[in-house]
Amino acid sequence: MQPPPPRQPVLRVMQASTAGERETLEAFLDFYRDVLVHKVRGVSDQDAGRRLLPSLTTLTGLVKHLTVVERNWFHRLVDSPDAPPAEEEGVSWVLVATDALDAVLAGYDRACALSREVAAGFTLDDVVPHPELGRVSLRWIYIHMLEETARHAGHADIVRELTDGATGVLG
């Protein structure tokens, strides 16, 4: 039996092997966004919200946190009216009764789509104000988001393995 063909984000990373800087950054960021979503799909709401570590880290919490991170970095580039106020550290990890996994995943998908749309209006060298860093370029935001998303996709990999034994980048 042949393995299934690679999903679009995997193909995009493979195709970006000789691409320009922006296409490469976008391909890898979308790849890690996809890894996160793939790691949490197929888990019940109960398992996705279960704490298996001493911290507040849960599968649902990881998605909820990265949704806030998308908003706090990309959406603020244009002070989008859709962007809620920046959330304080730690608040995004707290789960409430309405945080069903499918709803949180849908919110993440919407946040990522808006992030792509917003970023498309800027060059990598465009600089925007930041309350703590002074100014940041879109290039810096992409690299920071790659780091943040890949780091938390790795956390999801560990929590998923603890949940039901599933392992691997896309498994």
pLDDT on residue 112: 96
> Does a structural domain hold residue 171?
no
Task: Round to whole Å and give the CA distance between 7 and 10.
Answer: 6
Task: Round to whole Å and give the CA distance between 2 and 136.
Answer: 45
> Does a structural domain hold residue 118?
yes
Counting the structural domains of the chain, the total is 1
pLDDT on residue 134: 86
**What is the domain extent for residue 125?**
8-164
pLDDT on residue 15: 86
Task: Round to whole Å and give the CA distance between 31 and 14.
Answer: 10
- What is the chain's pLDDT, residue by residue, as a tens digit (171 residues)? 655 566 677 888 888 889 999 999 999 999 999 999 999 999 999 999 999 999 999 999 999 999 999 988 998 787 644 545 556 657 788 999 889 999 999 999 999 999 999 999 999 999 988 878 888 999 999 999 999 999 999 999 999 999 999 887 765
> Does a structural domain hold residue 3?
no
Yes or no: say if 123 and 80 are a contact pair by the CB < 8 Å rule.
no
> Does a structural domain hold residue 42?
yes
pLDDT on residue 81: 47
Which CATH number belongs to the domain containing residue 47 in this structure? Answer: 1.20.120.450
**pTM (2 decimals)?**
0.89
pLDDT on residue 8: 74
What are the structure tokens assigned to 59, written together? 């599968």
> Does a structural domain hold residue 97?
yes
Yes or no: say if 67 and 107 are a contact pair by the CB < 8 Å rule.
yes
